[in-house]
Amino acid sequence: MWRRCAPPESPTRPSTTRRARHAAEPAHEGGQPLRILIVEDEPAIAAAVAASLAAEGHAVDTVADGAEAITWAETYPYDLVVLDVILPSLDGFEVCRRLRADGFAEPILMLTAVADVDARVTGLDHGADDYLAKPFAMPELHARVRALRRRQTAARSPRITVADLDLDPMSRSVHRAGRSIRLTAREFELLEVLARHPGRVFSQEQLIDAVWNADFDAESNIVEVYIRSLRRKLDGGRRDGLIQTVRGAGYRLHADPGTEP
């Protein structure tokens, strides 16, 4: 599928396969669909893993190069990375090490043909969360993804608090200054992306990617429409708006809406 935009640091459009995300449908494995980056340079394996995860309702991107993987993981808000070890430009161990050094906190599942203990230890030492030796059966990959997701959900702070805004991703409830706010599923997802990274500016393309995946083009005003609706619900006439427009760049959640940045 055609990719709308390349990540900002990437001079060329990455060669990726895009799978449609069906966020409105529950994933077959239970729970919320995940945004998964697959880093694998063997086209047949990449395609099989992508198709299998997409069939469970997850949103999947694939890249075939180590350096490209870092750019993508730092540009889009992935929930999980499936990372091959032997890759062009940077190997999976180095990709893992650099992502962790840069603060990437989501689970990383390493894939490799090297099933020996040394490689497994190296992967875990570089910050991988789990390890799957090739060849593997798809049900085992799915089981590892489920286990990593459970671990991540348990480790993650159950609530997100930014200024007087409070989000509970488990119950999908939202309060501002103690007032309960009802949001649609998409509005909640959009707000959650912004609230997990207060102060960080997200472009319209990044928000479309995170919330709607690939079904809207960059010309669509879908983000604008949802931001307007979120502001109406969150601010309720208050002047200290939580969501800020950064002209020419995108939107961010203002961590301290009482002041101008």
Binding site for Ca ion (CB under 5 A): 41, 84, 86
Compare residues 112 and 206 and give the one whose CB is closer to Ca ion: 112
Q: Are 203 and 249 in contact (CB under 8 A)?
A: yes
User: How many Cβ atoms are within 10 Å of 230's Cβ, its own excluded?
Assistant: 25
Tokens at 136, concatenated: 């593997």
Q: What is the DSSP letter of 202?
A: B
Residue in the structure block whose two tokens are 């101008």: 260
- DSSP-assigned letters across all residues of 96-115: HHHHHHTT--S-EEEEES--
* C-alpha distances out from residue 86 to 22, 39, 108, 128, 235, Å: 31, 10, 15, 15, 49
Residue in the structure block whose two tokens are 């608090």: 161
Minimum gap (Å) between residue 7 Cβ and Ca ion: 22
Minimum gap (Å) between residue 112 Cβ and Ca ion: 8
Compare residues 65 and 84 and give the one whose CB is closer to Ca ion: 84
Compare residues 7 and 66 and give the one whose CB is closer to Ca ion: 66
Minimum gap (Å) between residue 84 Cβ and Ca ion: 4
Compare residues 86 and 124 and give the one whose CB is closer to Ca ion: 86
Minimum gap (Å) between residue 86 Cβ and Ca ion: 4
Compare residues 84 and 129 and give the one whose CB is closer to Ca ion: 84
Minimum gap (Å) between residue 8 Cβ and Ca ion: 27
Instruction: Tell me the residue nearest to Ca ion as measured from the CB.
Output: 86
Q: How far is CA 239 from the centre of its chain?
A: 31
**One-letter amino acid of 132:** L
